[in-house]
Amino acid sequence: MAAPRPLPVRLSGVIMPASIQDLEALRALTALFKEQRNRETAPRTIFQRVLDILKKSSQAVELACRDPSQEEQLASSLQLITECFRCLRNACIECYVNQNSIRNLDTIGVAADLILLFRELRVEQESLLTAFRCGLQFLGNIASRNEDSQSVVWLHAFPELFLSCLNHPDKKIVAYSSMILFTCLNSSRIKELEENLNIAINVIEAHQKHPESEWPFLIITDHFLKSPELVQAMYAKMSNQERVTLLDIMIAKVMAEEPLARDEVPLFLSHAQLFASTFVDQCKTVLKLTSEQHADDEVNELDGIPLILDSCRPDDRNPFLTQWVVYAIRNLTEDNSQNQDLIAKMEEQGLADTSLLKKVGFEVEKRGDKLILKSTSDTAQP
């Protein structure tokens, strides 16, 4: 493909600024690169020219980062940056030759640095978001099915770009940065995530916030869950809600129409064992706490008894939860009249289950205006 002929400096008798000429030429290229035959015949010199425009326009962004008063002058530069990224993005679609040519010009490094600068700007312009999104799309396209480009993108994007973008308020930026992460991850880079767990946890959070986005889900199922070491390291640092999210994803994967591959079954069993052992350990901690001297009063002071009783609900996923609750309540109420009185009052308000109290070895008896919690002769054991 021959380079598009530069637009004339004069148009209808009006002198056109160089930036407008560049913008129009870039738009023409972006349109041309929608066709595969044009991508395959593009001369390398075109990409050098696009890179020159990108570098020149990025200077305005750098200036605005240093001097906020210059932010109002960004409009034309952001337009050029956006069209540069669109042009490069289209040029990389299923074109290994263009991917290599653009990468060898160090365009990836320039683009990644510019994207990081975008996070420093405090302007609320749609044009900034558009440039941001197009830059990420370019990085995703140049890395697609190209291991050499993936290595360079990873070099420039990890960890700062992922940390900066995965928790961005714009869901498209989250999706595109997730796409880049998914494309670049392999077994060796998973090891690097073990040293940067915040990125992995940010992916979990991204799935929580944007469940409709496929990229965070695919990162978790196709990469994270294939590494027991990473899952174990993540699990230790995740919140309970994040752990539930990970478990839900595992269940969705297991229940999907396509069965687990043979090599995936041991991995999922390993994850299940981790989750189960952690749950048991936490239950043992609660039981130990409730059996220690003076701990029953501390649980009362922390309003722990209503929380423990509230956990005694039918739950197919935790069939032994009721037994643990029974044992905990028994320890909390044994030889502790204050906690017995508390549960008696809760029974009067309809908050406690009488059958649960009987399992613990107590029953409630009303004497006048008072409720008395007394022991029964048949105390059940969990």
Do 145 and 171 belong together in one domain? no
Cβ distance 110 to 49 under 8 Å?
A: no
Surface-to-core class of residue 382, CB atoms within 10 Å of its CB (0-12 exposed, 13-18 middle, 19+ buried): middle
Describe the chain by its helix, strand, coil percentages, rounded to 5: 70, 5, 25
CA–CA distance, 321 with 280 (Å, rounded to integer): 10
Do 53 and 143 belong together in one domain? yes
Considering 245, 273, 291, which residue would you say is the last residue of a domain? 291
**Residue 245 reports pLDDT greater than 80:** yes
What pTM did the predictor assign? Answer: 0.72
Q: Is 381 within a domain?
A: no
Do 311 and 253 belong together in one domain? no
Do 9 and 127 belong together in one domain? yes
Domain that holds residue 366: 292-375
Do 314 and 240 belong together in one domain? no
Considering 122, 156, 190, which residue would you say is the last residue of a domain? 156
Q: 76-87: per-residue pLDDT in tens?
A: 899 999 999 999
Q: Is 204 within a domain?
A: yes
Q: Is 382 within a domain?
A: no
What mean pLDDT comes out for the span 255-277? 86
Total domains present in the chain? 3
Q: 146-205: per-residue pLDDT in tens?
A: 999 999 999 999 999 999 999 999 999 999 999 999 999 999 999 999 999 999 999 999
Return the structure tokens found at 257: 């129409």
Do 6 and 151 belong together in one domain? yes
Do 273 and 152 belong together in one domain? no
The SS3 assignment for 296 reads helix
